[in-house]
Structure 1
Amino acid sequence: MADKLKFALALALLAAGVAGFYLLGEQALIVRVLAVLAGLAAAAATARATEPGRQFFDFSKEAVNEARKVVWPSRKETLQTTGMVFAFVVVMALFLWLADKSLEWLLYDVVLGWKKS
């Protein structure tokens, strides 16, 4: 029950930050953005105090650690892969164009006899 109340408070803090953005409409933009960021920070801190919030933040840390372990392709590998994708797209476009024109010729000229003039 306490987690639900903390989570409701976190949502209220987030809503207050967004409401502050609109209520401070005549202030400088930086003040309005800071109001949203303050509401977001307060909401995150409150949500982190809940059990699901702790699980989420732990999961997020693990996800960041796993992303650091990824071996990203080099520039050369990226360019080669991109080139293969473009080549495949061109070949597939030509194949589909030929298939379309062949079926058009077969149906309209041969089967139905609708010669183009």
Structure 2
Amino acid sequence: MATSEVQTVNTSADKAKLAGAVALLLGAFVAFYLLSGKGALAQWAALIVGVAAAVVVFGVSESGKQLVAFGRDAWRETKKVVWPARKEAMQMTAYVFAFVFVMALFLWLTDKTVEWLFYDVILGWRK
């Protein structure tokens, strides 16, 4: 049985990098709103530069490196997937639509049957 481990930030340098990334991100948003009187170009430039700096600082942290490694592994696994042919995909889609239609019809009939049973037969509200 595999054990699940929660990985946390251990080093103080890594914590400082993450805190710096968060501070840069917050600073970018604050600058965006503070520069509202300077024009849209200044606002968006400050936002883009701040977010880019936050991404770079996060990227050099251990958490950022792990995220990039995870993304690479996920991409590698996606390439291994054997995707269905168009015909198979269309058949499976048709099966799903048919099942949804049959299930909707079943639920509608069940709803109407229960409605008739309660309101007409048991309570006698509709005459």
TM-score normalised by the chain length of structure 1: 0.74
Instruction: Give aligned-pair identity as a percent.
Output: 50
Deviation at 1:40, TM superposition (A): 1.9
One-letter amino acid matched to 2:28: G
Q: Alpha carbons of 1:22 and 1:55: their partners in 2 closer, same or farther (altered >3 Å)?
A: same
1:13-92 residue pairs with structure 2 within 5 A?
Answer: 13-25=24-36, 26-29=38-41, 31-92=42-103
Residues 21-46 of structure 1 deviation map (CA, whole Å, 9 limit, x = unaligned) = 222224235x4333222222211221
- Counterpart Cα distance in 1 of 2:111 and 2:81: 43
Alignment TM-score, normalising by the size of structure 2: 0.70
How far residue 102 of structure 1 moved from its aligned partner, in angstroms, is 2.9
Rounded Cα–Cα distance in structure 2 between residues aligned with 1:16 and 1:115? 64
Q: Deviations over 1:56-87 (max 9, x none)?
A: 22222222222233333344333322222221
Query: Is there any run of 5+ residues in structure 1 with no aligned partner, and where?
Result: none
RMSD of equivalent CA atoms: 2.5
Q: Number of paired residues?
A: 115
Q: Which runs of 4+ in 1 moved over 6 A?
A: none
User: Once the 2 structures are TM-superposed, how far is the Cα of residue 100 of structure 1 from its aligned partner?
Assistant: 2.7
User: Quick one: which amino acid aligns to residue 27 of structure 1?
Assistant: G
